[in-house]
Amino acid sequence: MRTVIAGGGLVGLTTAASLQLIGHEVTVLEQAPRVRAAGAGIGLWPNALREFDRIGVGADVRGMGGEIDAWFFDAAGRPLRTPGHHESDHQFLLVPRPGLNSLLADTVGRDRILLDARVTGYTERESEVVVHLAGGAELHADLLIGADGVHSRVRAELVPGSAATAHAGHYAWRAVVPAGDERPEGTVLTIGRERTRGGYARVAQGRTMWMVNQFDAGPLTGTKRDRALRRARHLAEAGWHDDLLEMIATTPEEAILENAIMLVPPLSRWTSGRVALVGDAAHGLSPHISAGGTLGIEDAGVLRASLAAGPDTARALARYEDARTARFDQVREHAAAVEHATGAAEFAQRYAAFSHWMLSTAPTT
């Protein structure tokens, strides 16, 4: 099967490796001049690591990341307990993004990835799908996977009118800095005042990642550092988190990432006869549940298993769509419940309910 994957990000590359496992001849089209990963570190949950084990990179990924016990704290550093939830509901691996995407690109094979290749659209026929590239080139394939992120071109054609919208007022700031003498066990996740969340955690190889997020952030003024620091003070009562404030104050401005959060609306479909969406292209979510990438990696596993189950591509894609849209109806309910929690304790409780649900109901592919 000739499969073209639009987008060489985390989920596109994982999907490429997953489909190679079942014999697909894969071509990844990436618009950027090199494989890269915007972002600092990503938290990967065990359901994502299982697919990495399948494609043979699980041990390498675990080796490049740091295990995190994501206990919750309030703004004064008091631990928030989540009765009824087990330690494993709070444990994930924090992995530096650039190294991860580079490992995945090596696994797929650099010769299978075309760079500077921007998909502009496609034409679907009964016998094939023709993928159109900027500059006029075309690729003929049996299957097209849209893994081209929140502003997906493939989604724009498959589901017209599904443009991503801003999660109004929701911003995230983060950076990876050299580890210092801050608490090695980290302070993730501190749930502060003014709908702010954040903290820091050790990424492997002597580096620490700090992050600050706020719903309803109000007007942004000053440098990125000023903006992040102002919000971080909501996480730092009574001296708790002086080290976070210091870390942000000494981070070079150019090392700070600032994101306005975008959301993909629920879609009327994820697939057609020869086209399927995966990752943020299908379900760009708010990062307050720290699981969009993990769930995108799940997409890759479910798609692989559906396509392996029978020769009829259209039926396989329909099975994939049914399974994923049902799961994402529930993801969205959990995400909304966490977002609208009143106070730190309820936020922690609802977050733990989400991670427990995600892990205990993850597809076994």
Ligand X SMILES: Cc1cc2nc3c(=O)[nH]c(=O)nc-3n(C[C@H](O)[C@H](O)[C@H](O)COP(=O)(O)OP(=O)(O)OC[C@H]3O[C@@H](n4cnc5c(N)ncnc54)[C@H](O)[C@@H]3O)c2cc1C
Please count the CA atoms within 13 angstroms of the CA of 254 that sit on its side-chain side.
0
Residue of 147, 176, 191, 348 interacting with ligand X (CB under 6 A): 147
Q: Which stretches within the chain are classed as H helix? A: 10-21, 46-55, 58-64, 97-108, 153-158, 224-232, 242-249, 280-283, 292-308, 313-339, 344-360
> Quick one: which segment of 2-10, 53-61, 219-227, 322-330 binds ligand X (CB under 6 A)?
2-10
Query: What distances in angstroms separate CA 168 from CA 215, 218, 343, one per listed residue?
Result: 8, 9, 20
Neighbours of 265 (CB within 10 A): 13
> CA 89, 94, 98 angle in degrees (round to 5)?
145
Nearest distance from C-beta of residue 208 to ligand X, angstroms: 15
Nearest distance from C-beta of residue 148 to ligand X, angstroms: 4
Q: Does 176 bind ligand X (CB under 6 A)?
A: no
| Lookup: tokens for 258 | 């600032």
Residue of 3, 4, 5, 11 interacting with ligand X (CB under 6 A): 11
Q: Does 99 bind ligand X (CB under 6 A)?
A: no
Q: Does 244 bind ligand X (CB under 6 A)?
A: no
Q: Does 42 bind ligand X (CB under 6 A)?
A: yes
Residue with tokens 């099967």: 1
| Lookup: tokens for 149 | 């992120």
What is the per-residue binding string for ligand X in 113-132, x denoting contact by CB under 6 A? -----xx-------------
What is the per-residue binding string for ligand X in 280-309, x denoting contact by CB under 6 A? xx-----x--xxxxx-x-------------
Q: Does 191 bind ligand X (CB under 6 A)?
A: no
Q: Which is nearer to ligand X, 234 or 284 (CB)?
A: 284
Q: Does 148 bind ligand X (CB under 6 A)?
A: yes
Q: Which is nearer to ligand X, 37 or 310 (CB)?
A: 37
Nearest distance from C-beta of residue 54 to ligand X, angstroms: 17
> Quick one: which segment of 52-60, 147-155, 197-205, 312-320 binds ligand X (CB under 6 A)?
147-155
Query: What distances in angstroms separate CA 347 from CA 47, 174, 190, 259, one per listed residue?
Result: 22, 21, 10, 22
How far is the C-alpha of 109 from the C-alpha of 16, rounded, in Å? 10
Nearest distance from C-beta of residue 289 to ligand X, angstroms: 8
Q: How far is CA 162 from the centre of its chain?
A: 19
Amino acid identity for residue 79 in this structure: P
Q: Does 105 bind ligand X (CB under 6 A)?
A: no
**Conformational region of residue 109, where left means phi above 0, alpha means psi within -120 to 50, and beta covers everything else:** left
Residue of 103, 169, 194, 259 interacting with ligand X (CB under 6 A): 259
Q: Which residues bind ligand X (CB under 6 A)?
A: 6-12, 29-32, 39, 42-43, 118-119, 147-149, 153, 172, 259, 279-281, 287, 290-294, 296
